[in-house]
Structure 1
């Protein structure tokens, strides 16, 4: 049964079953590697990103398709450069995830520059709920951890299929703020209750979640299935919509976190207009750091009636025959 506050993750002896040994080994190696200096981790992230670029062909094609659709006026050379930089950013994100889970809190906090906390503090003082609207940048995991050290932010959560990874991920995320709540993504009633009690909830509305509960509005000029949940949460939860972005700074300088001013006159009562406004804000934020956005997601997989998907069909994995 879903609850407002999901039960804390608990280790079970069953997680030591041999089928989980590979994931334990991989996480253990990552735990050891993340002890290295930050600049070394950035270098390793570039190497991992280069490998991803070579071997993750389907994801590379998705990123190339997205950039071609969103930026038709860019040269082929510029798009190719952004794709390569984007895979570097995804490689670094692996180690940023590990930093968020395992670095000492004070070591992690030294990397953060935070602006705009007063917007969340003022809302909390007034007992006003907040939909903290974020985007799927590759720095997402670390950004949430750094902000969670400063203010209490509840998070929408979807249980991972691998129970070992789920355990480690939940513990890593929840250690930054003991008062934070993990809300099951489908538990809309719990979300409204949390917002109406004056809490802030992290939410990212920039991916394609299908035709249901979505409208087609432009995203960089391309019709994109865009969820209307942002305005619904704000209206039914009686909450402010406060944009939040994070940026990996160059030359190992750390991260810039910015809590922006609440959107004015939002929701407007028009779900289509509200969805368009969110996409327009997303466009502005992405243009500031296009190489750090998660272009490997199939943002345009859901199409208007009669329009074909722009992505190549996924290759089906051959099943191994049983001897």
Structure 2
């Protein structure tokens, strides 16, 4: 979990274009917040037109999860979702690079007392986050108010990985690589708070099929295992971009009671129910471009079309 060190290899010409892009993003973060969000909307509109494969995935997910909406309503929601994804690019850099006091002005919190109580009691916490487009902002704001570590998957590009990790460590106590389960459990037993998101399709291994919006979804059982082996509470966390453009509401929900429960299936059903409720609060801000139903139960047809060449 040591902070990454800069390497001379990061200055290789093959990374120059990335450095240029990051430099431009850094300059843009000097602009006022509302201007950045307006730019994000424009970027989202461009992504809607250019990122055809991701648009089709998001469109399919909305068809599957929100059949009660008519085609026009889903089309409006899809466009708003891409606007939200465009804002994510700027929210990421705000969370990483804004001075702490400037960033703090964007955040409103509810329920921090649940984390403070667990910390005072020396109780480990799995802070169950979800993959909303505002995820980076939620983590950045959280780190200003609460000592916490984040689960982390290294990026394939070493320069972006260096920048991403350094940015997250500006706010959080540190990061834990996703494969370091032993290290995570040790920290939970020692009373750490660990920011962890279980709401994506990680394949059939370590997953079971339980309904999500009425569709069998491969759902990881790790949340139950980590809570049991780490002797930790599970406390859900959500964050929402406020409609008036003033910032974000970060909500820490009450700890899950009787968790783990009687079975992993019961626990996964409970988690997916919480995910459905959270998405219902601001569906346009969820990461619909992820192929959440990629893994299918044996014998069931695939739900996504192959990418067009």
Q: Shorter-chain TM-score category? A: over 0.9
Residue 250 of structure 1 aligns to a residue whose secondary structure is coil
| 1:319 aligned partner | none
| 2:193 aligned partner | 200
Shift in Å, 1:175: 1.1
Residue 292 of structure 2 is aligned to residue 299 of structure 1: yes
What is the rounded CA distance, in whole Å, between the counterparts of 1:29 and 1:208 in structure 2?
33
Residue 242 of structure 1 aligns to a residue whose secondary structure is strand
Instruction: Give the TM-score normalised by structure 2.
Output: 0.98
What is the rounded CA distance, in whole Å, between the counterparts of 1:97 and 1:314 in structure 2?
28
| 1:310 aligned partner | 303
Q: Give the CA RMSD over aligned residues.
A: 0.9
Residue 36 of structure 2 is aligned to residue 36 of structure 1: no
| 2:177 aligned partner | 184
Shift in Å, 1:157: 1.1
Shift in Å, 1:251: 2.5
Residue 191 of structure 2 is aligned to residue 234 of structure 1: no
Residue 268 of structure 2 is aligned to residue 271 of structure 1: no
Task: Structure 1: give runs of 5+ residues left out of the alignment.
Answer: 1-5, 317-323
Residue 252 of structure 1 aligns to a residue whose secondary structure is coil
Residue 224 of structure 1 aligns to a residue whose secondary structure is strand
What is the rounded CA distance, in whole Å, between the counterparts of 2:193 and 2:294 in structure 1?
30
What is the rounded CA distance, in whole Å, between the counterparts of 2:178 and 2:144 in structure 1?
22
Residue 166 of structure 2 is aligned to residue 171 of structure 1: yes
Residue 138 of structure 2 is aligned to residue 143 of structure 1: yes
Residue 21 of structure 2 is aligned to residue 26 of structure 1: yes
Size of the alignment, in residue pairs?
A: 309
From 241, 253, 260, the counterpart of 1:248? 241
Report 1:5-84 matches (<5 A): 6-84=1-79
What is the rounded CA distance, in whole Å, between the counterparts of 2:77 and 2:222 in structure 1?
30
Hey, which bits of structure 1, 4+ residues long, moved more than 3 A?
none
What is the rounded CA distance, in whole Å, between the counterparts of 1:109 and 1:238 in structure 2?
32
Task: Structure 2: give runs of 5+ residues left out of the alignment.
Answer: none
Q: Which digits, 9 at most, give the CA deviation of each residue in 1:186-226, with x for residues without a partner? A: 11111110100011111111000000000000000000000
| 1:258 aligned partner | 251
Q: Which digits, 9 at most, give the CA deviation of each residue in 1:133-169, with x for residues without a partner? A: 0100000001100011101111111111111111111
Shift in Å, 1:314: 2.5
Shift in Å, 1:315: 4.1
